[in-house]
Each structure stands twice: as structure tokens, then as C-alpha cells.
Amino acid sequence: MLRTSTPILQPIRDKVESGERLTLDDGVSLYQCEVPLPELGELANLVRERKNGNFAYYNINTHLNPTNICVYRCTFCAFRADLREAKGYWMNDEQILARGQEAVDAGSTEMHIVGGLHHQAKYDWYRRVISLLHDNFPSLHLKAWTPVEIDWFARQTQKPIRWVLEDMIDAGLGSLPGGGAEIFHPEVRQQICEHKADSARWFETHRTAHELGLRSNCTMLYGHIEQPYHRIDHLIRLRDLQDETGGFQTFIPLAFHPDNTGLSHITKPSGPMDLRTMAISRLMLDNVPHMKAYWIMLGVGTAQVALAYGADDIDGTVRHELIYHDAGAETPEILSVEAIRRLIEEAGREPVERDTLYHRVEREGSEWQAGEKIAVG
Ligand code: V47
Ligand code: SF4
């Protein structure tokens, strides 16, 4: 058994080594600077390798944000626009189909679809985004709509969340992405996105999705006005739902990017804070199989290092990302498969292409098929 040089870490190390669950107090104490980052990373890496060995997963994916016009005004968001703003857009069928074709030509297995809540767009238009893509490109897995959108559709149609999800599944929805979670604690949520779906609605959506057989992801937006307590509370709420349903596949910690937002006075989280948050997330979320280092948001270098701090997934090649680039991300807009594999190998890990539901992908050029389900320890 390894000993730590830091007394505050020893009881936590003992728990992690014996597979015992960490408490809220444990999590908050890990944010204290006396816990050296390398020791924290070593502990998170233990859990990461227990679950996923030396593998690091990626996929070939494409983003679609069908409109950026949004009724809400989340203070952290640089992506949204008003109807009359020059940067506002609303895609037509032709543009959506062109994006689908581009995705398939590039060998994508997944389309990641989220957007603004356009007050003039009816529910049927949002449903049509899914059915158009599914009917024309059936091999593309459609990972679409956060609980913020599903809640908006439920209000528009005056139907329950379950009805909306069933109707979207009927149209071709394959899974839910992790967005819209931000920080669940009302002390923070009320200050950054008070009008949109609250935490109860977020959890109702994911719980219902899991009951209907959908898998989903989960996120946490950190590095703005929240405190360590709010982050750990957030992680424990996710852990609790995962105990109930087992439906989350991946957790993605999202570092706040301040440019062009209502919180532009805040400095974006440092690399060490990104790594600390990845490691603590890995330690707290003992029941979530995968942790994603989203390279678009972390930057390629930090994402590589994060593969030794709990992360086992790097997201995908990504094309047409807007949310982070509108908020000042300086990462490229796309990485080739070769570049993704190289960055994983440089980090000392073995790259594995996966599909959205974590099957190994067997590929020849842009042709592919799903292989065996990836086993997690
Ligand atoms: O919900 C918005 C966040 C989320 C900013 O499921 C911002 O595989 C930082 O959820 N700075 C959307 N973050 C992105 C998302 C996601 C990303 C990658 C993979 C997956 C997945 C999901 O982005 C929003 C919000 O939390 N966000 N603006 C900003 N300025
Ligand atoms: Fe609208 Fe989503 Fe931006 Fe909030 S985060 S303003 S809901 S687009």
C-alpha cells in the first residue's frame, strides 16, 4: 500500500484503495491546496486504471447547433443570440441535411445536437431536426437535446417529459448529451441561469430517459461563481441518480470560458484547477464508467495530461463546435483521427475508437460497424 506525504490525504487514500465511497467532506477537503496535485492525480489514476486499464477512448463526431436564438440569458453563455442580432441564425432543412451528409462523408458515428430555444420555432421543428437526420442518415447516432430543451418542449406541447422523450425516440433520438447541468445548487443556479430548467427538472429528464432505455452523459460547469462545496454537492447528486438507474455513461467537467459572456470579469480556471477537478470528479463519481477530457474546452495539452488524472476519454474529432469557440476557446475547430490518436499515444495510453454507446468501432475509411461493448472494471 502506498503512503502519502500529506496527512490530510491518508484517510481518503485508504478509502479509495479499499473501494470505500468518499463523503461530501472528503470531496471538499480535496479542493484544499495542501493536497498536492500529483498525489491527487495518482489516486484518481488508480480508479481510472481499475475501470479502464490503459485505454483512452475517442469517437468521430460532428456538432450541429440548429439555432443560436434563445429565449434564455444564462450569464455564462456566449453562444446565444437575439432574433434581430446579426449573429443570430436558424437553419433550414437544406443546411441540416448538408451537415448530416458532411458528417457521414467524414466517417462520423455521432451527431451532437444542442441549440438555443427559439421562441418562434415550434416543437415540430425541433422534432423534424431529429427525424430528417435519422431518416436520411440512419447510421448516425443522434445524441441530442439537454433537459433544458426537453423541458422547453414539454412546456410548448403541454405534455409530460416522458411523452416528449418517447416522441423524440420515435423520431430517431439515440441518447442525451450531458449539458444544461451547470451547477445544481440553487445558491449558484439562481445567479447564473435562474429561468431555465432547475435541478429537479434536469434529474427528472435523465431519470425518465434512463427508464426508457436511453443512455446519457452528465456535466458540471466549474470555475465561475461556485465554491468547492457546490461542486461536490453537484457530483453527489449525480452519483445518487447513477446509484438508482446506472444510465450515465460519461461525466464531463466543463471549464468556464469567460470571453463574450456576462461573467467576462472572471478569469478562466487554471490548468492545475482543471486537473484537480478532473481527479476529484473521478474519485467522487465511483459509479460512472467514463470521464471525458473534452480537448476543445481544456486545450490539447491539458487534455493529454488529464488522461493521467482520471480521464479515459477525449471526446471526438469534433467539427463545427460553436459554444466554446464563441466563448474564447483557442483550440482548433477539428482534429484529425491521426492527431487524436497521436495525442493519446503521446500521453502513454492506447487509443480506442468507440461509438456513442461505448462499443469498439471496426472501421475501413468512412465505413464502420459497431463491435463488442467495452467492458469497464
Ligand atoms: O450546458 C456554455 C457549457 C454545455 C460555456 O455529452 C460553457 O458528450 C464553459 O454539455 N464556458 C454544453 N462552458 C456542452 C456540453 C457537452 C460538451 C461536450 C460533450 C458533451 C457530451 C456535452 O456547455 C452547457 C454549459 O454547461 N457552456 N457556455 C462557457 N462560456
Ligand atoms: Fe440559451 Fe443554452 Fe445559452 Fe442558456 S446556455 S442562454 S439556454 S443557449
Pocket residues: Cβ below 6 A from ligand 1: 76-78, 177-180, 182, 217, 219, 221, 252, 254, 256-257, 261, 294, 315, 323, 327
**pLDDT tops 70 at residue 4:** no
Number of domain units in the chain: 1
Tell me the per-residue pLDDT of 138-149, one tens digit each, with 9 for 90 and over: 999 999 999 999
Question: Which tops the pLDDT comparison, 26 or 34?
Answer: 26
Confidence of residue 366 (pLDDT cuts 50, 70, 90): confident
From the CA of 71, the nearest ligand is 2
190 falls within a domain? yes
Please identify, by atom number, the ligand 1 atom nearest to the C-alpha of residue 296. Answer: 18
The pLDDT, as a whole number, for residue 167 is 98
Residue 228 located in a structural domain: yes
Identify which has the larger pLDDT, 94 or 331.
94
- For Cα atoms 247, 253, 258, give the angle at the middle one, nearest 5 degrees: 140
Q: What is the mean pLDDT of residues 26-46?
A: 93
Taking residue 364's Cβ as centre, other Cβ atoms within 10 Å add up to: 8
Under the banding of pLDDT at 50, 70 and 90, the label for residue 232 is: very high
Residue 1 lies in a domain: no
pLDDT at 32: 83
pLDDT of 3 > 80? The answer is: no
Identify the residue whose C-alpha is closest to ligand 1 atom 12. 179
Domain enclosing residue 178, as ranges: 7-373
Confidence of residue 193 (pLDDT cuts 50, 70, 90): very high
Least confident of 126-130, 295-299, 325-329: 325-329
**Strands 55-59 and 248-255, how do they pair?**
unpaired
CATH number where 250 lies: 3.20.20.70
The 3-state DSSP class for residue 152 equals: helix
With CA atoms as reference, report the closest residue to 307 among 12, 54, 27.
54
Residue 146 Cα to ligand 2 middle (Å): 10
Alpha-carbon span 113 to 215, nearest angstrom? 15
Q: What are phi and psi of 299, to 5 degrees?
A: 90, 150
Q: Are 62 and 110 in contact (CB under 8 A)?
A: yes
Residue 14, pLDDT above cutoff 80: yes
Q: By percentage, how much of the chain surpasses pLDDT 90?
A: 90
Mean pLDDT of 45-49: 98
Q: Is 76 annotated as a binding residue?
A: yes
Question: What is the arithmetic mean of pLDDT over 64-86?
Answer: 95
203 is in an annotated binding site: no
Q: Summarize the confidence of residues 196-216 as an average pLDDT.
A: 98
Does some domain include residue 354? Answer: yes
d(CA 262, CA 25): 32
ipTM above 0.85, yes or no: yes
Is 310 within the bounds of a domain?
yes
Checking if the pLDDT of 324 tops 80, the result is no
339 in any annotated domain: yes
* Residue nearest atom 4 in ligand 2 by C-alpha distance: 74
The pLDDT value given to residue 2? 52
pLDDT given for residue 113 in this prediction: 98
Q: What is the pLDDT of residue 18?
A: 96
Query: Distance, CA 20 to ligand 1 centroid (Å)?
Result: 31
Minimal-distance CA residue to ligand 1 atom 9: 256
33 is in an annotated binding site: no
Which ligand is located closest to the Cα atom of residue 224? 1
Query: Please, what's the b/e burial string for 317-329 (b: 16 or more CB within 10 A of its CB; e: otherwise)?
Result: bbbbbbbbbbbeb
The stretch 269-287 carries a mean pLDDT of 97
**pLDDT score of 375 more than 80:** yes
Question: DSSP assignment, residue 20?
Answer: P
Instruction: Please check whether residue 51 lies inside any domain of the structure.
Output: yes
179 CA distance to ligand 1 centroid (A)?
5
Residue 2 lies in a domain: no
Question: Percent of the chain having pLDDT more than 70?
Answer: 99
**Ligand 1: centre distance to CA 147 (Å):** 13
pTM of the model: 0.97
* Atom in ligand 1 nearest the alpha carbon of residue 255: 9
Residue 193 assigned ligand-binding role:
no
